[in-house]
Every structure is written in C-alpha cells, then in structure tokens.
Structure 1
C-alpha cells in the first residue's frame, strides 16, 4: 500500500501541462473558465486550498455559460484537486462526469485524459491490473484523437503499476516510451517523473550508483523540478545513502525530503520519509530520534490505512450507484416510450376489448365445443402424421439399400468382365505353346499387371460397396502421414518397377500428425498412387512431398505424365459419381470409382483435394489433412 500512494502525485504532476494547448484560444480573456482552470492546475502542487477556491470561481462561470466544454473542463480540474486531497470517491465522480460530457461532445482527447484519471483511482487502491487495462484504453483514445504523442502520462502510469507488481523489465520499457514522448511534446514534468521511477527500479535491483546518478540528474535539471519531484528524489537518495552506509548524507537527504512532503501535506510522502529517517537514526545509534520518527511514521501509517480503507468502500458504493443510475435511466426511457405508445392506441384498445368481451359472451359455449373437437382431431392427426413419417423413413432406407445393391451388381458385372476376359485370353495363348520363353515371360508380366489392376479394382469396389450399404463410419485418430505413405509406396514397388518408374518420397522431420480415419487414408493413398503410376511415362519419376500449414498438413503427389486438361480437372472436382476412366501410358484401364472414393473419404474426414496440371510435365494431386 505504501508505494501505491506514490501514484497519486506522480499521476497529478504528469498532467499539469495538458491544458496549455486546449485553452490557448481563450488566453486573451481576463475572466474566463480557461484562465481559472489553468491557474488552479498551477497551484495544485503548492497550495491546494487556494487552488480549490480558484476552481470554485471557474465552476460558477461554467454554470453561468452552460457550455458543455467548460463544464467538462471544470469537472476534470476538480477531479485532480480531490485526487490530491485524497478523496477518491469525489475524484472518481468528477472523472466520470467529465468523461461523459467529453464522450457526448465527441472530444476524444478529453475522453483519453478522463480514462487516465479513472486508472489512477484504480491504481491508488492497489487494483493495478485493472488500472493497466484502463491506461491501455486511454492510449488507444489518444491515438483516435490524433494526439498519440500525448499518451506519455498513460505509459508512465502503466510503468508505475508494473513496478508495484515487480515487473521491472516491462516497467523500464514503458518508462523509456514515456521519456521519449515527453521530450517530443515538451513535457518536462513527465521526464522528471520517468527518471525518478527509473532510479527507483535501479535501487530495487541493487544498482545504487546508477540510482544516485539519476536522482541527481533530476535535482540538477536545467528545468527545476516541482516540490513533489524533489521530495521523491531526496527520499530516494536517502535510501541509497543508507544502503551504502553513508548515514550522515542519508540524514541530510531525508530531512530535505521531509520538508518538501510537509509543504505538500502528502500522507504517503510523510509516512515514507519518516520511516527512512527512523531507520537512518537507528543505524547511527540515535535511539531517541529513531523512536521519535518511528512514532510519527506509525501515526502516518495508521492514517493512511484508515483513509485507504474508507476510500475503497466509498469507491465500491459509488460504482454501485453508477450502475444503478444507468439501469434506472434505461428503465425510464423504456417507460416513457411505452407511455407514448399507449396514449396513441388507448381508444382503439378500449374498443377492441369491449368488442372481444361481447363476442366471447355470445359464442362462449360454441367456442368450447369447437375447442374440444379440434383438440381430439389434432391429437389423431398428429398420431397419423408420426406414423406416416416413420413409414416414409423406413421406405426411404429400403429404397436406398435396394438401389445400392443394384448399383453394386451392375458395376461388378460390368467391370469384372473385361479383366477376366483378358486373363482368359492370355492363359489360352500360353497354353497353346506357340510362344518362346521370352514371349511367355512377357505374357506373364502382362497377366501380373492385369491381376494387380483387378485386385485394386476389387478393393475399390468393396470399399465403395461397404460405404453404400452400411454408411460411412469415421474413427478419427492421429496418423503419421510420411510413415503411412512409406508403407503404401512399398506396396507399389514392383508395379512401378515394371514401368521403370522411380517413386521419390520427401524425407521430413518434426511434421505434426494428422487427424483422420486410418483405413480411409489408406484407401485415399492407394488410389492416388495407383492413379499416378497409371499415367506416368515409363522411365519417369513420381514425387511425394509434404508441407505444414497453420492448421493443415499437405500431401502432394506429382506424377510424370502429360498433365490433365482443365475441363477434366473441373469434372473431377464437381462430380461426386463414377466417371469414365482414362487409358494409362501402357494402356491400363480403370473402373472410374477410384477418384470418387478419394473424394468421398476425404469429405467425411474433413479433408480437401486440389489438382494442378503442368502440361507436358505431369499432374499434381494435393490433399490437405487437419492437424491432430
């Protein structure tokens, strides 16, 4: 709690020059709100009572003019005065009042300054995380106002809260930003405050010489610091000297700091400085002086605690009242709107009610009978409707199963006839014995290719039939994509070798697994690799590579064929049914089911397919799987 009250005066001094540009256009007037407000700000560090009297004069002028800008500026000045005095509840009321007027009049700069003040209240009662949020919101408001450089007090106060929670590195970064902006805008007061806090951080870290240098830099600055800045700097020097064992110098610095704090009537400074002096006298062996300042320190400490507790309670009550007022205002507006509507339609409503009463009285018995009859009829109709829906769903299921069965038999009868006939012819030729051993070996190779193609076709037909008859069930699990591809490639080694095709798979490391059904991904890879071998020229290569994206992992299969016509690519992407299969480079045929299966299983696994063609060089099939 001790350090939090430092925020009060640091924040106050950081805004003393804010109004210099806002009120410049009124300087020629001898008796104006702007003049009195500026004078009041100038006296806040030295004579608070006199400053309040001047602000009372400004308030009277603002009430007489009834100008929203004047009223907001006076409320903003009062908020600082109450803030210095230590009455947080009144200070927050004025900040909220000023903020509301600035917001309604579209004064973004005024909104930003009022937000900084609200953040200071939160900071003063140890709600540093909440204060940082409000200061950050103020920085954004400064940017929207076109005065981003004037956000230096907000950066300074963010740093103060970060010091309280011991985030020194973040605090130093924000202090450096505040220092740079203060030099751009000519804010000497903010520069002094930032240097004071940098010195304090160095003291906390045990860098006493650096802290001492920074404190003297403030005290010897070409632009003299304010009384509070002197008090803070001398108190800091007293701590540095005491830590280094230079108690005489520590005593001198502490007495100077105490003198400035008495002029300021700052409880926090008085408590801090008496505590430092008590410790200095104790280290010197001056027991009486040490006890004297210890008693004063305890007095100020008790006063701080009691006032802080009371202010925190007042703040919570004020927040509750503000919320209650907002609710009441909203309810009031709703009631007024409703009353306006009622006045317009009151006569119509009265006539309508009378008419309804007469009709209800005349047809009461008839209506009851109709209601009973309608209820019974509705119940019966609902029962019939439910039964019809059940029968309809069952018929649709039976129809789909019957259609799938017919499609399965049609495909089996059509697509098995051709390869079996070819095998029968080849066996007949071999049996005739009219061929040399070399020709027989060639025929056996041809038979092997036919058997392999037929096997792949049967597997695809079975997969397709299963998905049609039983529905597609997905069992998602993590799958290592390169490892799975390696297994599939091995299965096609001999088939590729017979066409003198080399399959080159990219070696990858740290590729994340994908989320997919392990059986479905096997079907997809088998069909894509089989398709690539089918259309790759003899002696060419097939490349398999992988690429990690933000949410997906890509598998790319690039064949060594002639590419695919654009219209064929569109056909593959658009149609979800069996297509006419193209002839391969060695006259291989297919069923046209493979790519249909690929698209089907990719869709139910939430993966997608893309196709790119490089005329004369090949076609690339790209599959995007979700990361696990």
Structure 2
C-alpha cells in the first residue's frame, strides 16, 4: 500500500513538469518563427520588422533565452541603422555585445562588432570601420560562417570606396560575392551587386556600373523595395552623367515608387539629389526646388539630428570599454601576485630541502673520504665523457631541428589541401587538380624524407660537411619542383630561365639542398600573391666564386632585421608571411651556418616593400 501511494505521488509531480517542458518547447518554436519573420522584413518593411522583433524580445525574456535575446538586440541594431537612427542602433549593438560576452557566443559578438563598424562608417571614421570589419572577417572565417564573411567584406568595400581605394573596394566586393554565392536567396546578395555598381560609378566607369545595376533588376528572385530603389537610382545617376536627361528622370521617378516604401534617409536623400539635378538641367525648376528641399531635409535627418547625443554616447561606450580593460588588468595583476606568492613559498621549501641535503651529503663525505677519492677520479672520467656526449647531443639537436624544419612546409601544404577538400571549398575540377598536387607533394616529401634520413644517418656522430663537385642548377631545379603547392596557392611564378646550366661548385650536396630550400621557401612566404621570384647567376672573376641571386617582389626586410640575422648565433624571431604564414626563425640561421661550413658567402639586399634579393656565393670547381 505505501509503495502504491508513492507511485501515485510521483505521477502527480511529473504531470506539471511535463506540461512546463511542453510549454517551453512551444515558446521556443514561436520565438524562432518571430525571429525568422523579422529577418525577412528587416530591409523590406520597417514597421513589420519592428513589430515582430518586439514580440520576439518579450518571448525570449520570458523563457530566459540569453542567446536569442542577444540576437534580437543585434537585429534591432540593424533595423535602426537602416532607418538612420545611429544612437538607437549602437545602443542595441552594445547590449548584444554584453549578452554575448556572458554567453561566449563568438558569432553573435561578431555580428555586434560588425554593427559598430557600420556606425563608424556613418560617422565617416572609415579607417576604424575597416579595422573592425577585418576583425569580423577573422572571427567568421574561424567559425566557418561564409554568410558572415561575405557580409563583412561587403561592409569593408563601402569604407574603401569612400576612401577612394577603388582597387581594394573591388577586391572586397568580389570576395563578398564569392562567399555569398551559396546565399543568393538572401537580401545581402542583391545589396552586394548594387554596391558593386556604386563602386564602379564612383570610379567613373559607367558601363560597368550599369551592368551590375541591371544584374540586380534581372535577379530571378523577389527583390526588396530597397534593392529596386538603389538600382533605379543608380541608373538615374548614370544617365545623368551621360547627358540622357529624359532617361535620368524616368529612372528617378521609377526609383521614387520604391524608395517611398522604405525608411532609409540615405537612399531618399540620394534619389532627391539625382532628381534635383535632372529636373534642373531640363529647366523644370519647380520640381528641382521640391527635390532640393527634400534632399536638404533628409541630409539634416542623417547628419544633424541628435549629433551631439551620438558622439557623447560613443565616448561613454569607449570609457566603459577602457574601464573594463582596467578591471581585467587589475584582476590579472592580483592573480599574478597570488601566483608569485605561492611560487616564493615553494622556492623557500625547496631551498630548505636543498640545505638539508647538503648537510647530509657533507656527513657522508666525511664518513667515506677514501671511497669518495676513488669516486672523484671516476667522476672526472665521466665528466670528460659527458662533455663529449653533450657536444654530440648538440649536433643531434641541430640535426633534428633541420629535419623538423624541412618537413614542416610540405606537411603543412598537404594539410591545407586536405582541409580545403574536407570543408568542401573545391569543386570537382579543383579537387582533381588538388589531388594531383597532393600526390606530387607526398611523393616529393617521401623523396625528401628518404634523402634526409639517409643524410642524417651518416651525421649521427655530428654534422660533417663533405664538399664535392656538384651541379648547382640541377639541385635548384629539384628544389623548385617540390614547391608546386606553395607557388600555386599564392599564384607565384618562379623564373629560373636565366640560370646557366651545368655550373659545378664545390659544396656538400645535402647541405646546399637545405640552403636552397629555406631561401626559396622564405621568398615565397614573404612574396605578395600574383608576383614573381627570379633566379640568375653571376661570377666573381676576382675570387672565382659563382653567385646565385634569388630576388622576390615581396614585403622586404628592414635594416634592423638584416643586422639581427647577420649577428645572432641563435635563431631570430620569426615574422609572419604575406598570408599569415608562420615560421620558426630557424631557416636563415641554418642558411648562414651551412654557407660558412661550405666556405661560401651569404648576402641580403632588401628594402621594406621593395622585395628582397639573397645572394649565395659558392666556390667554383676548377675545370
């Protein structure tokens, strides 16, 4: 009987719990639907988007879903930015940042950070905006969010275009379209096409601009009012520049039917300006005056209203951020002090133990003085052996460094190819090419391992230089053939057509392979994409040396860094390549040491942003 009563109690308690869980699941479904609806109307119908977001915010707070609350705050920020209310916009972006810092959601943080970049654009602080968009690009690439990366490149192109950096703006907009190719059903895709048209127009390339605006209007999906308004306004501006005033007016009036359905002051001001100039040139001065008044009103709404409040609020945000940084530094300092205190205590205990050990050891020495005399002699013998072993170990350590350094680049190349294929970034044709490169890279790496292991086996008692007459050009061509992936990935050409065949120099072949491999890899690492590396020979008639010149068109090396390379006896601090390639700082140290072992000379000529020329001088073999 008691067991039966207990069972009834458990069932009675479970029913409310089950109902509560079911209610929460229903609320989450409703919340997701409201957010989805608000995103659909975000650039289409301001009032509808605001209504859906308001309802969604209430539901999210009711079920205490912080991530959804943060997402809604980001969408509110975007909604107010579209309207031109930058103060409200940055308030919501700041709120979203605080929420996502607590939940550690990098995707949401990136969205909020992107919003701050948009505010900087509106304040004409373009360099700061570009810097923020670059940070967003890094975060979203790490998250694998192609839509987010595309949106960030789109926004970056606006800042670059306004700075007059049209080449960079085109590059950013092309990257945006590439990342958004799988998201053509979203509003951002037609926005990106429109922005491409605007960049070409600002650059004065009217035909290219017109093509992009027509691509928008021929878009197979449903266009938003904003997309139509932007494209038709752009066509009106183009016809105005061409002197086709009738067409300019027609396109402007068509744009007017769409822009009236939006709340974007910037778009309305842009259209009013275009119509004002078109009507003025067609002598319709009453309509020109009407649009002139509209243009001024929209400009005032954008740039004058609440301007002081915007600046004050931004300064407050920066002050809060600085206070937060100071608080974090204080916490770190306190943590460091506690660690130092504990470490000091451990050191004292260890020191006491060491003193006790010395006392005991002294007693043992006094008791066994005769035995220790014998041990002392043995110890001297062991010390001599240890010094020999230490010297051998240093050579072995250098040998292992050489092996790991030379294998790092080909293994990274294989890894990058596999990651590209794994993540689906390659189409079928690119996969075939990648497999061929992968097979060649693995074969080259296998051959390199075989040679390195054979050489290292012969060097186990210490690195020995065996100089023999060697065909320098043959080794150069062999090393270049092993760098196919690195050159293809950065679209770099290695031109060695000026090399004189069958140059015989007196060197250790394996050590020269290591020298050339490191020099060529460094040239690729610090070369800009789509550039060229040139190799040629020269001969010093005075001392009979053959000079090999390796010149790239990369970022160059500062004078201080060159002095450090020449003077340091250990490896120098590595510098990142043009595509953030990492290094160990060991390469040039090996080059310098092996050149000395082969009685050669090593010279660097470079200027920052002017490329680098490395000159390797080898002793020519007497015929």
Structure-2-length-normalised TM-score: 0.49
* Higher RCO (C-alpha 8 Å, min separation 6): 1
Q: Which has the larger radius of gyration?
A: 1
